Structures are given as structure tokens and as C-alpha cells.
Structure 1
Amino acid sequence: MYVVLLNYTAPIEEIDYALPDHAEWLNKQYEHGHFLASGRRNPRTGGVIITRPMARGKLDAILASDPFCVKHLAQYEVIEFSPTKTAPELRLLNEAVPH
């Protein structure tokens, strides 16, 4: 499982211009079952994505297709973690905790 931190590298006006394409890209990732949650950081300096477990190479390819990446509007910090405790609502997503 990963937490992806997006850090904007362009003025917010450029981010806003590319936002509809980024939102469409996010929707596709949810449809494919790759992402669990996403949203803006506060203050608005970037975003956060929480992914399902997957191979790191697959995640890197997915992130490379983000319009923010393609247009060089954001940098990505990927944090891999293995949850050892999960709220009941998320237990099915946590492969490390017996169900």
C-alpha cells in the first residue's frame, strides 16, 4: 500500500488549468481499483493519494500518466507502508491483518 504526496511545482493558475484532466485521470484510477482515497493538501501545495497494494513499478507507470506529471506541474513522493492495524471498515483492504 502506498501514500503518494504530490507537491505542486507550478503556479496555482497552471494547476487549476490542468485540474479537469487530472480529475479525469483520478476517476480512471478509481474505476480500475487502484486508488482508495485522494484529495488536496491544506494549505493547497499539492495533494495526497492512498493506493491499494500493487507492485511499485505499476504505481510508477500510473503516476507517470497523470497530467500533472506529463505537464511537469507536480513532483511525487511515494511512501510504501504495510498496515498492521486497520479500522473495521478497511480490514478487507489490509492483507497483513487476519480477517
Structure 2
Amino acid sequence: MYVVLLHYTAPLEEIDYVLPDHAEWLARQYEHGNFLASGRRNPRTGGVIIARPMLRGKLDAILATDPFALNHLATYEVIEFSATRTAPEFSPVNEAVAH
């Protein structure tokens, strides 16, 4: 699994202008089963995405299609981790604890 930390590199006015496109991009990633959760950071300096287990290259390719990336409005910090314990709702997507 991955935790992706988005760091805005542009003023919020520019972020807000591209936000509808970013929201559509997120919706497509959920439809494809790539993401488990996402949301804004507080304070609003970026966002957080929790991505399913996948090859790192695939995740990097997905992130490169984000309108924030295409418009050079954010950078991405990707943290890979192996969940060894999860809530029951996560066990189907976590190969470490799946039955």
C-alpha cells in the first residue's frame, strides 16, 4: 500500500481553478480500483491519497496524469508500507492480512 502526500506548489487560487479536473481524475482512480481514500490536508497545504498495493511504477504513472501534476501545481511524496494489521474492512485489499 501507499500513502501519497501532495504538497501544493502554487497559490490556492490556482489550485482551486484546477480542482474540478483533479476531482474527476480522483473519481476515475476510484472507478479503476486504484485508490482507497483521499482528502485535503489540514491546514490546506496539499492532500493525502491512500493507494492500493500495486507496482510502484504503475502508481508513478497514475500520479503523473493528475491535473495538479500536469499543471505543475503539486509535488508528490510517496510512502510505501506493508500493513501488518488493519481494520476488518481493509483485509480484502491488504495482502498481508487477507484470508
Q: Answer yes or no: same fold by TM over 0.5.
A: yes
Match of residue 51 from structure 1: 51
Per-residue deviation, 1:88: 1.0
SS of the aligned residue for 1:27 comes to helix
- Other structure's SS at 1:82 match: coil
1:71 aligns with 2:89: no
For structure 2, which runs of at least 5 residues remain unmatched after alignment?
Answer: none
Deviation at 1:98, TM superposition (A): 4.7
Amino acid paired to 1:84: T
Question: Which segments of structure 1 move beyond 2 Å, counting only runs of 4 or more?
Answer: none
Superposed CA offset, 1:32-70 (max 9, x none): 000000000000000000000000000000000000000
Mapping of residues 1-99 of structure 1, within 5 Å: 1-99=1-99
After TM superposition, give the deviation of residue 18 of structure 1 in Å: 0.3
Calculate percent identity across the aligned residue pairs: 80
Count, aligned residues = 99
Q: Are the aligned partners of 2:92 and 2:98 in contact in 1 as well (CA < 8 Å)?
A: no
CA shift, 1:93, in A, is 1.3
Counterpart CA distance in 1 for 2:58 and 2:33 is 13
**TM-score, normalising length: structure 1:** 0.98
